[in-house]
Amino acid sequence: MRNLPPLTPDEAPAKSRELLAGIIARHGSAGDMVGTMAHSPALLQGYLDLSRAMKRTKISRPLSEKISLALQEWIGCGTCMAAHIEAGRAAGLTETDIALARQGTAADAREAALVDFALRVLTEPSSLTSDDVTALREHGWNDRVISEIVGLVALNMLTGSFNLVAGNQPSSDA
């Protein structure tokens, strides 16, 4: 059940109107989540900035989608899950890759370590120790990627939580 309606640019506060107009001009539409985030110009701007920034990480697109699938499985956002399954397929993930990611792992041990770390950042960040960071380094991950995982977790937590609070549901064609 939808709790917050998406806004059109005409209905949105001034700053959100400007942001929505730019998105629509570039992409043709804003989508339910972005239109609903328009209730808060600060939230919408923050989401757009973080989303753009996370597209410039050193984490490959397929691996980023695996991590997002694992995170969204735990968060429980059907809208985000559907979007990340579609994006994962577009990035070349197989159905096995998707299934493993949803289980919080990957076929590649190096990737599995990063997926597991991301889940721990989401679910139990206070339990992480320097040994956990060292273990990632031993798998070949550098400090930039380790840092970027926190941003990817934050982005997934933001979108998943927002969609759940707003009552946004996956489209029927997903």
| Tokens 């700053």 found at | 15
Is 144 inside a domain boundary? yes
Boundaries of domain holding 44: 14-54
Q: Are residues 108 and 83 in the same domain?
A: yes
Q: In the chain, which residues have pLDDT < 70?
A: 172-174
Tell me which residue of 120, 59, 119, 69 sits closest to 94, measured CA to CA. Answer: 69
Please indicate, yes or no, if residue 130 is contained in any of the structural domains. yes
Does one domain contain both 50 and 65? no
Spatial neighbors of 111 by CB under 8 A, at least 6 apart, are 63, 66
The pTM of this model reads: 0.94
Rounded distance between C-alpha atoms, residue 54 and residue 63, angstroms: 13
**Which CATH number do you get for residue 113?**
1.20.1290.10
- The pLDDT assigned to 172 comes to 61
Same structural domain, 155 and 121: yes
1, part of any domain: no
48 shares a domain with 67: no
Question: 158 with 75, same domain?
Answer: yes
In a domain, 23, yes or no: yes
DSSP for 102-153 reads HTT--SSHHHHHHHHHHHHHHH-GGG--HHHHHHHHHTT--HHHHHHHHHHH
Query: Biggest alpha carbon distance in the chain?
Result: 52
Three-state secondary structure of 145-169: HHHHHHHHHHHHHHHHHHHHHHCCC
The tens digit of pLDDT for each residue in 40-79 reads 999 999 999 999 999 999 999 999 999 999 999 999 999 9
Out of 54, 85, 102, a domain closes at 54
Q: What is the pLDDT of residue 174?
A: 42
For residue 66, what pLDDT is reported? 98
Q: Are residues 69 and 148 in the same domain?
A: yes
Q: Considering 34, 54, 74, which residue would you say is the last residue of a domain?
A: 54
What are the structure tokens assigned to 71, written together?
């995170």
How many domains is the chain partitioned into structurally? 2
Q: Do 35 and 74 fall into the same domain?
A: no
